[in-house]
């Protein structure tokens, strides 16, 4: 019976041999023993796993000198390009639209290598929020300053909440403040009532000739974030910070979309995420062997011999 098997590939030139060694080493194969006999050279590689496939194909397969099935073809393609090796065929392309990728390589001396494999699939369960606002309540804090912009943001926010299932009369409360600087205080006051699942902050700040803009932007951003962290109620940031009026108009319903609508979707998703996290059940830890959980109607440990002897004397 065969106890071991070695797979070998023959390169067509000395330059191809050196290049193939560097490529295999860069792909993660561990180098083993090497040998030289006259003009012949030999290099051993030790992959972590190796499998020999003997397929039967309907038509002619390939004229490649080496065919290797690898675990991460995207990373291999990056390494191949760094070495300057010609890629004669790249099936499925560099974009991860399909779960496999095949690369045909041509070395300078004519050696042909065929690399193929499935793209790695990373699947891990995650807790996510849903865009469902039905049954949830939202508070919108909107500044009157630059109302030409903020009113358009408000309309986009209302549209987004209604589209997600919120009732415009029952589930949405609007609070108006003089300017953007007052938004954090109003947002915190509303959040502390615990009546709302999320707070949406809308405002517009335009850069002027003084440092006033920078001061207000920093304070508003810090205040909204601090309110969300300390109250535990999600806050959606819909305050525009633009250099020009044209930039603000573009972000209030023109070619850059409506940031009020985007803030509404973020608020709905974060409110749903908070509910999902709070309702997520954590399985109880298993008791150690030999112990029973307290409160189960039985003692945590079996009675010791001393206690048993004391009970017999009492009888």
pLDDT tens digits, the chain, 315 residues: what are they? 566 667 777 888 888 888 888 888 888 887 878 888 877 888 887 776 777 666 665 555 567 888 888 888 888 888 989 889 999 988 875 565 677 788 889 999 888 888 888 877 656 677 888 889 999 999 999 999 999 999 999 999 999 999 999 999 999 999 999 999 999 999 999 999 999 999 999 999 999 888 889 999 999 999 999 999 999 999 999 999 999 999 999 999 887 889 999 999 999 999 999 998 887 644 444 444 433 433 444 444 444 445 444 544 455
Whole-number pLDDT of residue 37: 80
What is the C-alpha to C-alpha distance for residues 160 and 14, in angstroms, rounded to an integer?
65
Global confidence as pTM: 0.54
Whole-number pLDDT of residue 304: 47
Active site residue 124: no
Q: Considering the candidates 22, 118, 124, 212, report the single residue annotated as catalytic.
A: 212
What is the C-alpha to C-alpha distance for residues 105 and 115, in angstroms, rounded to an integer?
8
Whole-number pLDDT of residue 94: 58
3-state secondary structure 170-234: CCEEEEEECCHHHHHHHHHHHHHCCCCCEEEEEEEEECCCCCHHHHHHHHHHHHHHHHHHHHCCC
Q: Which domains does the chain have, with CATH numbers?
A: 11-31+64-120 (no CATH), 138-278 (3.40.50.960)
Whole-number pLDDT of residue 1: 57
Residue in 83, 81, 116, 113 with CA at minimum distance from that of residue 98: 116
- Are 190 and 199 contacting, i.e. CB atoms less than 8 angstroms apart? yes
- Are 199 and 267 contacting, i.e. CB atoms less than 8 angstroms apart? yes
Residue in 117, 95, 113, 96 with CA at minimum distance from that of residue 104: 113
Please report, for residues 57, 176, 211, the alpha-carbon distance to residue 246 in angstroms, rounded to integers and kept in the order given: 63, 24, 21
């Amino acid at each position: 019976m065969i106890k071991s098997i070695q797979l070998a590939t023959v390169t067509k030139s000395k330059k191809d041999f050196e290049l193939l060694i560097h490529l295999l080493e860069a792909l993660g194969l561990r180098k083993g023993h090497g040998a030289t006999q006259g003009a012949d050279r030999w290099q051993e590689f030790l992959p972590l796993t190796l499998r020999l496939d003997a397929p039967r194909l309907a038509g002619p397969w390939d004229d490649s000198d080496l065919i290797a099935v690898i675990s991460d073809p995207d990373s291999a393609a990056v390494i191949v390009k760094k070495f300057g090796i010609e890629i004669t065929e790249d099936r499925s392309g560099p974009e991860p639209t399909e779960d496999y990728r095949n690369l045909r390589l041509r070395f300078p001396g004519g050696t042909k290598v065929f690399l193929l494999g499935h793209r790695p699939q990373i699947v891990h369960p995650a807790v996510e929020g849903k865009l469902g606002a039905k049954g949830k309540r939202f508070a919108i804090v909107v500044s009157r300053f630059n109302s030409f912009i903020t009113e358009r943001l408000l309309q986009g926010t209302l549209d987004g909440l209604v589209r997600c299932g919120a009732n415009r009369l029952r589930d949405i409360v609007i609070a108006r403040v003089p300017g953007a600087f007052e938004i954090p205080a109003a947002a915190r006051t509303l959040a502390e009532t615990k009546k709302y699942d999320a707070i949406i902050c809308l405002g517009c700040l335009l850069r002027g000739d003084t440092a006033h803009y920078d001061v207000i932007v920093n304070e508003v951003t810090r205040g909204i974030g601090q309110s969300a962290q300390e109250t535990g109620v999600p806050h959606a940031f819909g305050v525009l910070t633009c250099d020009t009026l044209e930039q603000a108009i573009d972000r209030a319903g023109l070619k850059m979309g409506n940031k009020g609508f985007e803030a509404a979707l973020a608020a709905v998703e974060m409110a749903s995420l908070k509910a999902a996290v709070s309702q997520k059940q954590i399985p109880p830890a298993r008791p150690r062997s030999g112990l029973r959980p307290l409160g189960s109607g039985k003692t945590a440990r079996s009675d010791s011999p001393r206690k048993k002897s004391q009970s017999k004397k009492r009888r």
